[in-house]
A and B are shown apart, each in its own frame.
Chain A
Amino acid sequence: MNILFAEDDAVSRKLVESYLNKWGHTAFLAEDGQQAIEIFDANPYIHLAILDWMMPNVDGVEVCRRLKKHPSQRCIYVVMLTAKAANEDIVQALDAGADDFMSKPFNQNELRARIAAGERIMNLETELVEYIEKLESALTQVKRLQGIIPICSWCKSIRTDKNFWTSFEEYLSDYGQHSFTHGICPDCMKKYYPDLVKAGADPE
């Protein structure tokens, strides 16, 4: 997983980078809030961010707010990392959109567990987005079949949304995701194959 870690302390950055690499993640490191936002802008596959609260330029809470309201509307799981642990601080972080909160100094096992929890949630969110896209696509198809369909009174061709005339079978195949198998009804059998009907052939 691609993880953004923003922290102004170089020792902490090195330490977390080492942990993340060891756990099979790719770390993107930022020295301050502004750099964190720039890295996020430039890397569309970052889905988890660990942000220190107190950073120069832009603080962690503001970075969190901006990532959550990013124009790309990307899903991002944010863990706020801070020595602050008062209730009002936690509320402020959660109000800014943070998903989780960790007190410093952090324990590496706790960090790993919280990242794993974030990864599970991000996977579920990604799956959900995919399902919603499929559902929306399916609904579009249904809507097309629900509307008034112009049909030729003589040859029964159908006019599509793009103003093309197509056969009834083709239209249903394209818009209704049906497939056809061809047969002959008893009336047509009598009309087109009267000899066969006389000979006792069963149109069914």
Chain B
Amino acid sequence: MICYQPEKKWGVLSNKSDRTNISAEAHESAGTDTYDISRLYAIAADDQELVCNLIDIFLRQYPEQIEELASSLADDNHDGVRRISHKLKGTLLNMGAEVAAGMALRMEKAAECSDIMLMDDLHGSVVSICHALADRLRRERQSLLDAGIICE
């Protein structure tokens, strides 16, 4: 297996200040400004009911994934971190959240190389970005409900 080299692909991360930059970037992108809800509508071919279904599934599924990620990290189970990050990446891509998926990809690659420091750095960012995305999706769901487009 060719091991992931974060310093080549994502820029030099070997010193503390660079790692801080990555973290800052991750926290910044956790804001809803980087997420374009129209991506989700495009994926769902503008089917509002499907959008609502996907939001519901994501809101049910992601806390479990976040929890599994945390417990794998706590247990130093790098293969578990890799597997969950990979799955989370797929989920986020299907929700049209490319920036968040990119973060999960970094986590997956860091786990492949057992880069504990990077995994720790990214963990908080992945959690934040997922929570931010969930908030945005809840608002979208509510607006669909308010508009009478979908029912509870």
Task: Using CB atoms and an 8 Å cutoff, list the residues of chain A in contact with chain B.
Answer: 8-12, 14-15, 18, 22, 54, 83, 104-105, 108
Contacts and interface: CB of A to CB of B under 8 A. Distances in A.
B95 A11 contact: yes
> Top 7 closest A-B pairs, CB basis?
A105-B93, A11-B94, A10-B57, A9-B90, A11-B91, A11-B57, A18-B50
Nearest to A12: B94
B90 A18 contact: no
Interface stretch (B41-49, B126-134, B141-149): B41-49
A39 to B, nearest CB: 20
Contacts of A12: 90-91, 94
11 contacts: A8-B87, A9-B61, A9-B90, A9-B94, A10-B61, A14-B50, A15-B43, A54-B86, A83-B86, A83-B89, A83-B90
Nearest to B108: A83
Nearest to A86: B2
B86 A11 contact: no
A168 B57 CA distance: 73
Contacts of A10: 57, 60-61
Interface string B64-97: 0000000000000000000100110111011100
Contact of B87 (A9, A14, A105): A9
The dominant DSSP class at the B interface is helix
Contacts of A22: 45
A22 to B, nearest CB: 8
Contact of A54 (B61, B83, B91): B83
B54 interface: yes
Main secondary structure on A side of the interface with B: helix
Nearest to A54: B86
B58 interface: yes
A11 B54 contact: yes
B14 interface: no
Given A10-B57, A54-B83, A108 B45 contact: yes
Interface in B89-109: 89-91, 93-95
A9 B54 contact: no
B83 A104 contact: no
A104 B92 CA distance: 12
B91 A9 contact: yes
A11 B93 CA distance: 10
Looking at A54, A105, A108, the one whose CB has the most chain B CB atoms below 10 A away is A105
A83 B57 CA distance: 21
Contacts of A105: 90, 93-94
A83 B86 CA distance: 9
A90 to B, nearest CB: 16
Given A9-B87, A12-B91, 5 more contacts: A8-B87, A10-B57, A10-B61, A15-B44, A15-B50
